[in-house]
Amino acid sequence: MDATSTVPVTGLILSGGGARAAYQVGVLSAIAELLPAGARNPFPVIVGTSAGAINATVLACGALQFQHACQRLTEVWRDFHIHQVYRSDWSGIIRQASRFVGQNFFGIRGRTPTALLDNAPLRELLTRELDFSGITAAVKTRHLRAVAITAFGYDSGHSMTFYQGHGAIDPWLRHRRVGFPTRLNVEHLMASSAIPLIFPAVKLGREYLGDGSVRQAAPISPALHLGANRVLIVGVSNNAHADASHSEDASAATGRAPTLAQIGGHLLNSTFIDSLESDTEMLERINLMSQMIPPAERQGRLRVKPVETLVIAPSEPLAEIAARFRHELPRSLRLFLRGSGTTKKGGSAVLSYLLFESGYCSELIALGRRDALAKRDQLIQFLGLELAGVH
């Protein structure tokens, strides 16, 4: 970090990705292992989107006991089942599918937004498990500067970041990006994780909101607005580690028309992955350019400050892991999704976002832990743990 920088404020960025967010839990569990017993929350700024927003909020609610919060996250994800996130019983699937077809093909207006799956069980789980008063306590005792989650406004087309933290943090307004101070609740999380067409949009105020990864051109920006000057980014794609021939988006040409699941997989990857990777690359370029500017110019007229970044991303394609665990899908869902190609090899990308089952999630947790520990020395240096006597 530049010698003239202020005291480091570390931000944690957890991207979206449905069931892929189990990978983040593995990374967090490794970080908790590296910390001394009873250590303070190492991330004064925590930012999450979609399923990453749920993980971020759990950490923020438990910021007074960071290691315990990480342990709790791990226990929940290792024991996850699809019925805890969305209805997978026959009556629930048929009812939701009928509503979807009626609204979109026959124009039958309904009270609830259109979606393929009913994620009411997720709302019940979050309401039961989360204690949002923990955020207030953590902010008050300076264990947390701010936590933020991002959603997307269907009417405005804006990326909306809702944050709770110190009163001195000003809201912001940029091109299609706005930040609002608020007291976070379950509805913010439901909105941020409402994957388009798959889960229903959520009305907050006067506007319906959906998954925050949609049109999120600058996923790192909220953390910087909230005061972070270095960021740990936990991604959910292995594209940063793989060449084109081994990337999870790569596939052998078959000459056959793409299935609905293949199309959906690319759309989901574009929504959840591409913007974070592009923003990370842009930040790295800005950091390189800032190093070429004389220090006096950086602190003077230009006011350019480099932002130290560390990225931890899957070392293996998550879609391939999902394909190995497709048998975990409930029989009702296997039949329901069979026609779209989701249960076949070409549909494993979609499956990797929807497979909230213990075997698959446990595998991602283990991978996240391995990948984080593989960067043990970098994490220790980045988080300043050497000063705490961790070697």
- Whether 211 is catalytic: yes
Question: How far, in Å, CA of 139 to CA of 184, rounded?
Answer: 13
Say if residues 96 and 87 touch (Cβ distance below 8 Å): yes
Measured distance CA(144)–CA(306) in Å, rounded: 23
Query: What's the one-letter identity of residue 78?
Result: R
| SS3 label, residue 3 | coil
Active site residue 50: yes
Query: CB neighbours of 121 closer than 8 A, spacing ≥ 6?
Result: 83, 84, 85, 86, 87
Three-class secondary structure of residue 264 per DSSP: helix
What is d(CA 181, CA 179) in angstroms, rounded to the nearest whole number? 7
Cβ count near 296 (within 10 Å): 10
Q: Which amino acid is at 240?
A: A
Q: Which of 118, 211, 249, 371 is catalytic?
A: 211
Pairing of strands 177-181, 207-211: unpaired
Query: Which residues are within 8 A (CB) of 324 and not within 5 positions of it... i.e. 6 or more apart?
Result: 363
Cβ contacts of residue 270 below 8 Å, gap of 6+? none
Residue at token pair 């290691």: 67
What sections of the chain are H helices per DSSP? 22-34, 51-61, 66-78, 90-105, 120-129, 133-140, 186-192, 221-225, 260-269, 275-291, 295-299, 318-324, 331-338, 348-354, 358-374, 376-382
Q: CB of 290 within 8 A of CB of 298?
A: yes
**Which ranges of 13-89 would DSSP assign to H, the alpha helix?**
22-34, 51-61, 66-78
**CA 325 from centre of chain:** 22
Exactly one of 15, 29, 50, 193 is catalytic; name it. Answer: 50
Which DSSP category does 228 fall into? -
- List residues with catalytic annotation: 50, 211
